[in-house]
Amino acid sequence: MKRSVKTLIVGVSVAAAVPLLATATAQAAPPGSVYFNYGGKNCAITPDGVIGCDGWQMVTAVTLPVGGGLPIDVPAPQSIQDASGIHPSYDFSQPYTLPGGNPDFYAVANDQGPWGPRLSFAGAFCEISFRGWFRCVARGA
């Protein structure tokens, strides 16, 4: 009996999350954004410090309050990183990819971080970090 109650709660939580994902899409890159490509992903930093990328990837969409917090990853064609974290996006109206593709990250990097090039714009940045990893930090994150 106890097990079926937990299953019901999880089922309801997941079902409730689906409409949230469909309606809570973020706006993609507006005019004035800085575009780049790194590792085959086309991304942009917007004038308000949000970072978005095109390309299918798994993005944690919901954390259920079952078992101490269970993250649920969903496939998303875009991801948005802002001050509250990384979110899936399904807004195809303004992609993060320029016609013909985005310029290489190394070509648009405008700063130097402790381990390599950095692209800083609007209070956000993306950089080559420790051991060659690539990371981005949105404004306020």
DSSP state of 15: H
The answer, yes or no, to whether residue 9 has pLDDT greater than 50, is no
Nearest-angstrom CA–CA distance, 121 and 118: 10
State residue 29's pLDDT score: 85
Q: What is the largest CA-CA distance in the chain?
A: 60
Q: What is the band of 105 on the pLDDT scale with cuts at 50, 70, 90?
A: very high
Of 37, 136, 18, which is closest to residue 81 (Cα–Cα)?
A: 136
More confident residue, 99 or 12: 99
